Chain A
Amino acid sequence: QVQLQESGPGLVKPSETLSLSCTVSGGSVSRGSHYWSWIRQPPGRGLEWIGFIYYGGGADYNPSLKSRVTIAADTSKNQVFLNLTSVTAADTAVYYCARDGGYCSGDSCFPTYFDHWGQGLLVTVSS
Chain B
Amino acid sequence: DIVMIQSPDSLAVSLGERATIKCKSSQSVLYDSNNKNYLAWYQQKPGLPPKLLIYWASTRESGVPDRFSGSGSGTDFTLTISSLQAEDVAVYFCHQYYSSPDSFGQGTKLQIK
Nearest-Cβ distance from residue A55 to partner chain B, whole angstroms: 18
B93 and A47 contacting across the interface, CB-CB below 8 Å:
yes
CA distance A101 to B62 in the complex (A): 13
Grouping DSSP codes into helix (H, G, I), strand (E, B) and loop, the B interface class, with mixed when no group exceeds half, is loop
Q: Is the CB of B49 within 8 A of A105?
A: no
| Count of interface residues, chain B, beta-carbon cutoff 8 Å | 23
Count of A interface residues, CB-CB < 8 Å: 24
- Are the C-beta atoms of A114 and B100 separated by less than 8 Å? no
Q: Total contacts A to B, CB within 8 angstroms?
A: 56
* A34→B102 CA distance, assembly (Å): 16
Contact residues in B for A48 (Cβ distance below 8 Å):
104
Residues of B with C-beta under 8 A to A120:
49
CB of B50 within 8 A of CB of A49, answer no
**Contacts A105-B34, A115-B61, A117-B50; A46 near B93 (Cβ below 8 A):** yes
**Complex: A119 Cα to B47 Cα, angstroms:** 9
Q: State the Cβ distance, A66 to closest chain B Cβ, in Å.
A: 9
Q: Which 6 pairs between the two chains have the least Cβ-Cβ distance?
A: A117-B49, A113-B40, A49-B102, A113-B55, A62-B101, A47-B104
